[in-house]
Structure 1
Amino acid sequence: MYIVLYSFSVKPNHEDSFIEGWKGLTNMIYQYEGSLGSRLHKKDEQEYVAYAQWPSKEKFESSGSNLPEEANRFRSLMKTSCEAIKIADKFEVIEDLLSTKLHD
């Protein structure tokens, strides 16, 4: 599995439109490009971090050409909501011990 770590500096009072754009684009990348999804985290008031999972580095690097025109609306929402969008890092997963279920 391959991970891409993103950093977002969101403009004040643009958090809702940023999240709408991030969710929409992430869902489309999952549906049309074969990603394994992504998680968004709030670091502080205007800083967000997301990591996207991909089946492989090759799948990530070859992505981008299968998205429909509608994806541009979500990209635009994100771009206009942010001061900066950066790929902070990329790396391979060695072990995965995350669980999606809660303990009793």
Structure 2
Amino acid sequence: MYCIVYRFKLSDPSKDTEARFVETWSGITDYLKRECDALGSRLHQGSDGVFFAYAQWPSIEVFERSAAHEPKLEFVEMRLDWADLCEPTEIVFAGSLLADLSS
């Protein structure tokens, strides 16, 4: 499994933009699962309002192959909404799974 950890901050934080962000993040995740074989993601928010998420992929190869995917209009619209909501996304970490102690 391959994982990418992201950090993002809303450009104009409010309850409305937080709700839109969660909805957009969820839509993008669903799209990537459906169209690009992603495994899903988890979204967290710190007490300072900053969001962190990690996206899971079966392998780095599947993740890299997703970059060549021709996006459908629904994805483009979600990415435009994302750009309107957030400052540039920061990748905190990307790497492959070594051990899974979650169960």
* TM-score (normalised: structure 2): 0.87
SS of 1:87's partner is strand
Residue 85 of structure 1 aligns with an amino acid whose one-letter code is: T
Give the direction of change, closer, same or farther, for the CA distance of 1:38–1:29 in structure 2 (3 Å limit).
same
Q: Take 1:80 and 1:63, find their aligned partners in 2: how far apart are those partners?
A: 23
Residue in 2 that maps onto 1:12: 13
Indicate yes or no: 2:20 matched with 1:36: no
Hey, which of these two has a bigger chunk of strand by percent?
Answer: 1
Quote the residue 1:25 is aligned against: 28
| Residue of structure 2 equivalent to 1:102 | none
Identical columns (%): 36
The 1:79–1:49 alpha-carbon spacing in structure 2 relative to 1, beyond 3 Å, is: same
The one-letter amino acid of 1:68's match is K
Q: 1:77 to 1:44 in 2, by over 3 A?
A: farther
Q: Which residue does the alignment assign to 2:79?
A: 75
Count of aligned residue pairs for this structure pair: 99
Give the corresponding residue for 1:56: 59
Q: TM-score, normalised by structure 1?
A: 0.86
Relative to its length, the structure with more helix (as a share) is: 2
Alpha-carbon distance in structure 2 between the residues aligned to 1:20 and 1:58: 27
